[in-house]
Structure 1
Amino acid sequence: MNKRIQPRRALLGTALMAALLAGQALADTASAPAQPLDKLQTLKEMDGKAPSHRMMDIQTWQTAAGSKVMFVEARQLPMFDLRLTFAAGSSQDQKSPGIALLTNAMLNEGVAGKNVEAIAQGFEGLGADFGNGAYRDMAVASLRSLSASDKREPALKLFAEVVGKPTFPADSMARIKNQLLASFQYQKQNPGKLAGNELFSRLYGDHPYAHPSDGDAKSIAAINAQQLRGFHDRAYAAGNAVIAIVGDLSRDEAAKIAEQVSSALPKGPALPHMPDPQAPKAGLTHIEFPSKQTTMLLAELGIQRDDPDYAALSLGNQILGGGTFGTRLMSEVREKRGLTYGIYSGFTPMQARGPFSISLQTRAELSEGTLGLVQDILRDYLKNGPTQEELDNAKRELAGSFPLSTASNASIVGQLGAIGFYNLPLSFLEDFMQQSQSLTVDQVKAALNRHLDADKLVIVTAGPTVPQKPLPPPTDKPQEQPMGVPEH
């Protein structure tokens, strides 16, 4: 199949940004007494061992209104992080694409007696931070506050009002709609965005994941405040929420916070899980686009977040294209041939099967050869699997980076939200690390072949139709400058 979509004007080209969610990557600095210089831990003293990571004692329960609570006590800093995760992403849009994003964006635009400026000043005056976002599976709202009661209690009161009782003021809705409508015009100049939207449409067909998370100009313009209130009542219900709390709090204090927030939400049950998508038809779709570059996206259905092969696939993808330099794809496509500035692969596991994707840009006149090369690399990798050296290196890299997943309260609260939302075991992080470190080459190869097939790729390209040139031969001498320069 080779479907062609005709011209749209353009200036920019970007690679596909995989949608997921999860935690923030902010670092907290614990106050600790300075150590004498002769006690500093040096890289030599580590003797090749992986750095230790923070152990988590996760406590979990349910509020009276039906919200799942995940709590980790962390006394290092006089503050706490609170994160609410709802099954309120764009997969719940139904007949109004973009309503999930618009509802989430409107949460802090108004509550009874306070407009958006007063809400912002209220949080700022308490030294608190409010955050929110909407994705395909979920929507989130978060609070970071000092844990002292004189700061915590008013911050929580305002947070509960914002998340549980937004007023959706008309002037704010008009402003945010105009911003979205302007972004849709900009997207017409962005081949990466056009290709990404087409990819999800091809990959998911009639599934709720298929449409763009931000909707489109027609759907956004049609949404009214009454629809936002209806979506909020349904998707921001207490039974549809996971409440993650990390910080300088006792179990009793965390329980009171959870009850306060949960009781402020609309009453209602959890929404049904996403259905499984149907297998898409493999083939190439080209979007004709005036540019010197061609954007390429290759994808197929991957896995759910709770798939037992998650660890093996994560490590296998790290070797293929999940890192930066040194991966199979980066080595063969950039370093040996200079065909791109960057090429990346990744699984995006979601509630239903999320995509496995490969993304890159290359010079338009080399696009056909580059596409064939990428497919051949994937095919060879599935056939032969990683080498023992590649696997050992990936394990060491994972062991070194893994402590960052619990290095700060913000990173922990994000992990808790994902564990609760996807119904993962409380020991998930420890299990993932242990499973990853015990994997063999054959196990990684078998897992990759259970889920991927190089002949079943859905491919979308965006660029001009130009005469093609042969690819340069591979060389062990790195290119001084890759031939595919990303457009800005």
Structure 2
Amino acid sequence: MSKRNGPRYALLGLFLIALLAALAFTVKRAPDAAEPAAQATQPDDSQLQSLAELDGKEPARRKLDIQSWQTAEGAKVLFVEARELPMFDLRLTYAAGSSQDGDVQGLAVLTNAMLNEGVPGKDVGAIAAGFESLGAEFGNGAYRDMAVTSLRSLSAAEQREPALKLFEQVIGQPTFPADSLARIKNQILAGFEFQKQNPGKLASLELFERLYGKHPYGHPSEGTEQSVPGISRAQLQAFHAKAYAAGNAVIALVGDLSREEAEAMAAEVSAALPKGPALAKTVEPEAPKPGLTHIDFPSNQTHLLIAQLGIDRNDPDYAALYLGNQVFGGGGFGTRLMTEVREKRGLTYGVYSGFTGMQARGPFMINLQTRAELSEGTLQLVKDLLGEYIANGPTQEELDAAKREMAGSFPLSTASNSAIVGQLGAIGFYDLPLTYLEDFMGQVQALSVEQVKAAMAKHLDPEALVIVSAGPTVAQKELPPPTDKPAEQPAGVPEH
């Protein structure tokens, strides 16, 4: 992944202050309700007491009027007008992740990292200074499914227009200068050396290779020590021309703009990109061979990664699996995994599980670290917990608690313009309905224990697990029995 931002701290500070004020404002009342001055001087405890007014009902959340259209060049646009702050967030999502690398592993990440290294008449320093002088912020990143570029700027024309012009040059006319290419290659190669000292990263690389084999998701997004040095400027130019084409992009826009202004901006951005169609979607992977791979590594702890193929992002069971996983291991403290592995036995600092829905089937993964001499017993415990959960599903009490937690936290997903623009990018990229955010919460709240149990059993198989461990090979000890007061583990920062 590559992400290099140049934040304007004063602007960001004002934004965060305004956001926190807005969030506090909505605890007691609807955002557009008037409040007499006398009420504004009430002590803080009056605001906290208002939580009781919810009476078990989910808190109000921001209603989004998502507008959508397509540019002349074929880019999909999603727009939400938000007048609360004098700024806008623009995010372009391209089907230009490492799954599009082909035979040149690391090509997508390197192309994305090079975008803001040079444009006609400007080098990387001039580009950074240009955004900085306007109070604007450029961002970029590349992943397995997608690559992104983003712009945050004030919405006043005197800042917006030059910031947008510079952004369009960066995404549409990168020059890929030779000196920057050599420097970034060296940074990536240095990262490979660091990975060799990181057992968690080694385990992750091995896991994806085991899960996906020769599938486009199987190789490291950053490429390899063998592939990166040979990537040429001509290859970067060719990848940019096809993968950053307007027809392969989703434009998400949120902020202090009218529909007319948003249409003009989207048209301008789309026209600045190379011309071309959407790329073919990633093919579905074949089921991997289950089993355990151990990486011997001299450390005090052992990393355990337990996985299997999960679902693609458009699977109709997505809501049921998301809710089911919140009970099992996705919701932090109070989940089955945290309760049994950490709280009752003190075997780990943290243990988590999750489905990653992608264009093709992404992984379902459980990940934790534990003491090396207890790793085999801990692994068996986690496998037993998963098998029992698949067989019997959640209790009604667990499901109700997870629903309440999700209803309470879900408004944060649209609490800021940057959060909304990220949601819009995902909705457009994965071809989800414009009503997805409302639909998702409605689906979650309507789910029964039987539906969640059926979905988990349909998509997970305790006999199909791909397991990778990384740590020392040592004599094993029996696990401590569960207790309300487990023995305290040695102090120290967990290894990552």
TM norm structure 1 = 0.92
Partner residue in 2 for 1:174: 182
Distance 1:360 1:484, change over 3 A: farther
Tell me if structure 2 keeps the 8 A contact 1:340–1:485.
no
Corresponding residue SS for 1:217: coil
Change (3 A) 1:482 1:397: farther
Residue 54 (structure 1) aligned with residue 58 (structure 2): no
- Shift in alpha-carbon separation, 1:455–1:482, aligned structure 2, 3 A: farther
Give the counterpart letter for 1:342 in structure 2: G
Aligned equivalent of 1:130, options 122, 138, 153: 138
Deviation at residue 138 of structure 1 after TM alignment: 0.2
Aligned partner of 2:327 in structure 1 is: 319
Could you tell me how far apart the structure 2 residues matched to 1:320 and 1:113 are?
54
In structure 2, the partner of 1:121 is 129
Once residues 154 and 410 of structure 1 are traced to their aligned partners in structure 2, the CA distance between those partners, rounded to angstroms, is 21
Aligned mate of 1:29, from 18, 41, 44: 18
In structure 2, the partner of 1:397 is: 405
Aligned to 2:450: 442
2:472 paired residue number: 464
The CA deviation string for residues 25-45 of structure 1, in whole angstroms up to 9 with x for no partner, is: x95725878761348463233
Distance in structure 2 (CA, Å) of the matches to 1:349 and 1:299 = 14
1:280 counterpart letter in structure 2: P
Between stretches 470-479 and 90-99, larger displacement belongs to 470-479
Q: Of 361, 364, 373, which residue of structure 2 is paired with 1:353?
A: 361
Judge which range, 138-147 or 288-297, deviates more.
288-297
- Please report how far the alpha carbon of residue 466 of structure 1 lies from its aligned counterpart in structure 2 after TM superposition: 1.1
Which residue type is aligned with residue 182 of structure 1?
A
Q: Deviations over 1:418-462 (max 9, x none)?
A: 000000011111010000011111100000011001110000011
Kept after mapping to 2: 8 A contact 1:160/1:261 = yes
Which one of the candidate residues 196, 203, 214 is aligned to 1:206? 214
Post-superposition offset of 1:478:
4.4
* Alignment correspondent of 2:462: 454
Match of 2:28 in 1: none
C-alpha displacement at 1:216, in angstroms?
1.0
User: Structure 1 residues 27 and 328, CA, compared in 2 at 3 Å: closer, same or farther?
Assistant: farther
1:259 matched residue in structure 2: 267
SS of residue paired to 1:378:
helix
Q: Give unmatched runs, 5+ long, in structure 1.
A: 1-16, 18-25
For 1:76 and 1:483, how far apart are their aligned partners in 2?
A: 46
2:115 to 107, 120, 141: 107
Superposed CA offset, 1:98-148 (max 9, x none): 111111011111100011111111111111110000000000000011111
Does the CA contact (< 8 Å) of 1:27 and 1:410 recur in 2?
no
Question: Quick one: structure 1 residues 478 and 27, their matched pair in 2 at CA, closer, same or farther if it must change by over 3 Å?
Answer: farther
Q: Contact (CA 8 Å) 1:336, 1:479: kept in 2 or not? A: no
Q: Of 377, 382, 385, which residue of structure 2 is paired with 1:377?
A: 385
**Cα offset, 1:344, TM superposition:** 0.5
Q: CA RMSD in A?
A: 1.7
Which one of 296, 300, 320 corresponds to residue 304 of structure 2?
296
Shift of residue 324, structure 1, vs aligned partner: 1.6
Partner of 1:430: 438
The secondary structure found in structure 1 opposite 2:483 is: coil
Unmatched tracts of structure 2, length 5 or more: 2-14, 23-34
Report the alpha carbon displacement of residue 72 of structure 1 after superposing the two structures with TM: 0.6
Report the Cα distance in structure 1 between the residues aligned to 2:41 and 2:287, rounded to whole angstroms: 60
Q: Is the 8 A contact 1:292 1:363 kept in 2?
A: yes
Tell me which amino acid in the other structure corresponds to 2:41.
Answer: L
SS at match of 2:18: coil
For residues 298 and 137 of structure 1, the distance between their equivalents in structure 2, rounded to whole angstroms, comes to 22
Q: CA deviation at 1:50?
A: 2.1
Mapped partners of 1:435, 1:483: distance in 2 = 42
Shift of 1:482: 6.7
Picking from 85, 95, 107, the partner of 1:87 is: 95
How far has the Cα of 1:485 moved from its partner? 6.6
Identity of aligned residues (%): 71
Q: CA offsets, 1:404-426, max 9 Å, x none?
A: 01101100000000000000011
The residue type equivalent to 1:113 in the other structure is G
Q: 3-state SS of the aligned residue for 1:106?
A: helix
Is the Cα–Cα contact under 8 Å of residues 74 and 248 in structure 1 kept in the other structure? Answer: yes
Look up the equivalent residue of 1:443 and give its one-letter code.
Answer: Q
Question: How far apart are the structure 2 equivalents of 1:482 and 1:381?
Answer: 30
Per-residue displacement from partner, 1:148-199 (whole Å, max 9, x unpaired)? 1111110100000000110001111111111111010000000110110010
One-letter amino acid of the structure 2 residue matched with residue 211 of structure 1: H
Match of 2:423 among 404, 415, 432: 415
C-alpha distance in structure 1 between counterparts of 2:245 and 2:385, whole Å:
47
Between the aligned partners of 2:199 and 2:331, the Cα distance in structure 1 is 24
Partners in 1 of 2:388 and 2:170 — Cα distance? 52
Partners of 1:295 and 1:463 within 8 A in 2: yes
Residue 51 of structure 1 aligns to a residue in which SS? coil
Instruction: Give distance in 1, aligned partners of 2:16 and 2:360.
Output: 31
Q: Please state if 1:155 is matched with 2:152.
A: no
Change (3 A) 1:326 1:320: same
Distance, in Å, in 2 between the alignment partners of 1:462 and 1:177 is 28
In structure 2, distance between residues paired with 1:416 and 1:479: 46
Runs of 4+ off more than 6 Å: 31-34, 482-485
Q: Report the TM-score, using the length of structure 2 for normalisation.
A: 0.91
Which one has a larger percent helix, Structure 1 or Structure 2?
Answer: 2
Give the SS at the match of 1:218: coil
